[in-house]
Amino acid sequence: MYTMTTMKNISAKNLLMYAGTLFLVIVSIIAIVVAISWKNNDDYPQNTISVSGTADVSAVPDVARFSFTVLENAKSTEEAQATINEKVSRILDGIEEAGVEEKDIKTNSYRITPRYEYVRTVKPAIDIAVDGTEFYPGNDRTRKQTGFDVSQSITVTARDFDTIPDILAVLGGTGVENLNGPNFEIDKPEELQEEAREQAIDEAKEKARRLAKDLGVRLGDIVSFNENNGGWYPEPYARMEAASFAMDDADFAPELPTGENEISSSVTITYEIK
């Protein structure tokens, strides 16, 4: 029969065995991870050179974009919506008559928000200042909802620049808010971006060949590539106030120099060298 002391000794031995086994397992896992890490480091070339290349491609803009907002307010959402729908319909009809296709007119946002004002709900008594001026004392104003604001933001793309004066006349004559444009842009810059990238890569490769020759080494495989697109920049026309144009300004014909847009690309290539 086992005594209490014997049982305690057996439990202690088992605990030590379990702890020793767990320690060996942890050490084995760490050794495997370290070995894999060393192997990965050995796989990556130790001798490399990195070169960069940049390129800029310019092109004449082929579209002009406008953005504007139509804003109305009324006591009810139904009344505000009816008012703004009528106004927007009149604007869009004028833009389409100017030569813009329906597919080039896009709503960016449509919002309905309560309108609040701080008002006096009790008529104050008139007081008289020291100089004899009559005034209404107190600051007892209360925040009350007085109606609803409805706004619709729209973007228009003009593909025929001859339509721009007519578009401006329509927008000015209807009193839109936040009129911005025309901004002269390239409709599909992706093709030019690819062209700029190809030129940047060619420049980087040529640099690598010259550098390898100067160093007396041979180029191996490409081990990494990184591209940092410089993007493209539209040519903006001056921001215009809608109130400065009227529908009956038949002689209004602004000069709109479009200039050129520039698309850039920058790349970095890392080669293994031998």
Q: Which residues of 96-106 are buried (b: 16+ CB within 10 A; e: fewer)?
A: eebebeeeebe
Span between the terminal Cα atoms of the chain, in Å? 76
For 159-218, the pLDDT digits (tens) are: 999 999 999 999 988 889 999 989 999 998 888 999 999 999 999 999 999 999 999 999
The pLDDT score that the predictor gives to residue 252 is 52
Q: How many CB atoms lie within 10 A of CB 67?
A: 17
Determine if the peptide bond prior to 182 is cis (ω within 30°): yes
For 36-46, the pLDDT digits (tens) are: 554 455 555 67
- In order of start, what are the domains of the chain with their CATH numbers? 45-62+188-274 (3.30.110.170), 63-185 (3.30.70.2970)
Give ∠ CA 182-157-56 in degrees, rounded to 5.
70
Give ∠ CA 260-52-261 in degrees, rounded to 5.
5
